[in-house]
Each structure stands twice: as C-alpha cells, then as structure tokens.
C-alpha cells in the first residue's frame, strides 16, 4: 500500500507535539507487532484520539488504518487526508462494507485501529463495548492490542471548548496482545477485552502526573467532576434525540 500522505502528516503531528511541548509518556509500545496484521482497540475520550493512538504504534514503525465516521471522509478538509492515509470509512447504516474492508486490510498485514465503544465517553470511563472488535480479530486471525489514551480529553472533547495549551501530559499505554479465535464466545471475549482495558485505564489514570480534585476532565470515581457513567448515558440519549429531531 503506497503512503504518500501519511508520512508528511506524521511529520506535521510530531512538529505540533514539539510546539505544544506535550509530555508524552508511552508504555508497552513493544506490544505492537512489527510485522503482520493486528487490531488495535482504543478507548475513546477525545476527537484527537486517532492522532495520538497512531503515535503509539510508531515505535514499532507501523501505520494504523483507523475505522472512522464516514462524514469525515466527505469533509472538504479532512476527507483528502483520511482517504490519503487509507483509513476506513464507517457508515453506521451500512456497516458490512467497512467491516469487510477492515478484514481485507488485516489479511494484507495492515494494522487497523478501532474504538470498541463506537463513540466518545463523556464520563471518560469505558462505555459498553461492541462485539465487532473481537469478531473481526477472530475472523482475520490477528491479535487484539489494547491501548489506553489519557489526557487527550483535555485537548478536544464533547461539551468542552478546544484547549491546546502547552506542556500538557499525555499517557499512552499499550497492553499485551490478546488472542481471540472463532471458537470463542464473542460476548465473553468482548467482556474480557473490556475488563482488561478497564484495568489498564485505572492504572493509567492513577499514574497520571496531575490529579486536581474536581477537574472536569477527571472521572467522578477519581474525585473529578466529569459526568458519572449514568449521567453520561443520559446526555448521549439526549444528543441522539436532538439529532433525530433535526433529521425529521
């Protein structure tokens, strides 16, 4: 697969990280295989997660093809970049095509990035996972690599203004590969993946260098003022209702 767009985008991102003086802390990046297909499963707390998630695979010299909302591919600015980096558009009303494209990428030895929660978590804790991640890994015969991002929500997330302040710490934690086979129960494998990533998230949050009580970007369970998972679910449903009303 020819990559004429991805390398300059990476160079621009690295320059931006230096300008912002991001305090990047990468742990476990050796778990991303240097060759062969693999599926990276990431938590979703920010609109910039795919940028930092891709950065977590660079020590292994891998380029991640993210499954992302189809609307990003139609945007006049992001569209050419998304297509040029060979990311995979996801149309929620016709998901079979994107699923098949991801399988083709994995069979070709590519690394595919997916967000099992499907949408950004307003609570910054893990939402329920869709089973497509483990089903895809089992069908393609590739490992699932769990990855946790933390600190990205402070830059750009739902319900809060963008804030690209300098010197911000960002944590990227990569877990050991998880093997899923066709004989495994998809629901059980999904629950296991979520449990593994929940443990990784807890460790990452607790080791994060800043823990200000009452911070909006800190989960309520850790002394922050972010919505609880139940409150976040209510906000999600209200957002969906508003979208449906606009479509009508």
Q: What is the pLDDT of residues 206-222, one digit of tens each?
A: 999 999 999 999 999 99
CA 110-65-148 angle, to 5 degrees, is 105
Lowest mean pLDDT among 31-40, 74-83, 169-178, 219-228: 74-83
Domains, the chain, in order of start with CATH, read: 6-213 (3.40.1130.10)
Q: Is the pLDDT of residue 95 over 80?
A: no
Cα separation, 28 vs 12, in Å, equals 24
**Residues written for the chain:** 248
What is residue 93's predicted lDDT score, i.e. its pLDDT? 72
Cα separation, 119 vs 44, in Å, equals 7
What is residue 2's predicted lDDT score, i.e. its pLDDT? 87
What is residue 171's predicted lDDT score, i.e. its pLDDT? 98
Residue 113, H or E segment: strand 111-114
Of 153, 154, 123, 127, nearest to 228 by C-alpha is 123
Structure tokens at 53: 């998630």
Cα separation, 163 vs 119, in Å, equals 20
Confidence tier at 159 by pLDDT (50, 70, 90): very high
195: CB partners within 8 A, 6+ apart: none
Cβ 3 vs Cβ 87: under 8 Å: no
Phi, psi for 152 (deg, rounded to 5)? -65, -25
Q: What is the separation of C-alpha 210 from the centre of its chain, rounded to a whole number of angstroms? A: 22
Within the chain, where are the H helices? 6-20, 49-55, 71-74, 78-84, 95-107, 132-140, 186-207, 229-247
Structure tokens at 165: 């302040």
Q: Is the pLDDT of residue 245 over 90?
A: no
């Amino acid at each position: 697969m020819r990559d004429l767009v991805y390398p300059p985008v990476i160079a621009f991102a690295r320059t931006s990280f230096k300008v912002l003086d991001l305090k990047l802390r990468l742990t476990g990046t050796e778990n991303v295989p240097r060759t062969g297909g693999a599926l990276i499963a990431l938590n979703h707390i920010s609109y910039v997660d795919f940028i930092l998630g891709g950065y977590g695979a660079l020590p292994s010299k891998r380029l991640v093809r993210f499954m992302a909302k189809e609307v990003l591919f139609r945007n006049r600015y992001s569209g050419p970049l998304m297509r040029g980096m060979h990311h995979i558009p996801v149309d929620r009303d016709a998901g079979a095509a994107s699923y098949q494209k991801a399988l083709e990428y994995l069979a070709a030895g590519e690394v595919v990035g997916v967000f099992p929660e499907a949408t950004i978590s307003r609570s910054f804790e893990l939402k329920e996972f869709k089973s497509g991640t483990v089903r895809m890994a089992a069908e393609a015969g590739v490992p699932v690599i769990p990855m946790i991002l933390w600190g990205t929500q402070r830059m750009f997330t739902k319900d809060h203004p963008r804030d690209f302040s300098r010197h911000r710490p960002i944590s990227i934690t990569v877990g050991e590969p998880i093997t899923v086979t066709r004989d495994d129960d998809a629901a059980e494998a999904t629950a296991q993946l979520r449990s593994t990533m929940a443990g990784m998230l807890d460790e990452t949050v607790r080791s994060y260098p800043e823990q200000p009580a009452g911070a909006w970007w800190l989960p309520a369970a850790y002394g922050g003022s972010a919505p609880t998972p139940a409150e976040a679910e209510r906000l999600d449903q209200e957002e969906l209702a508003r979208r449906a009303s606009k479509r009508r």
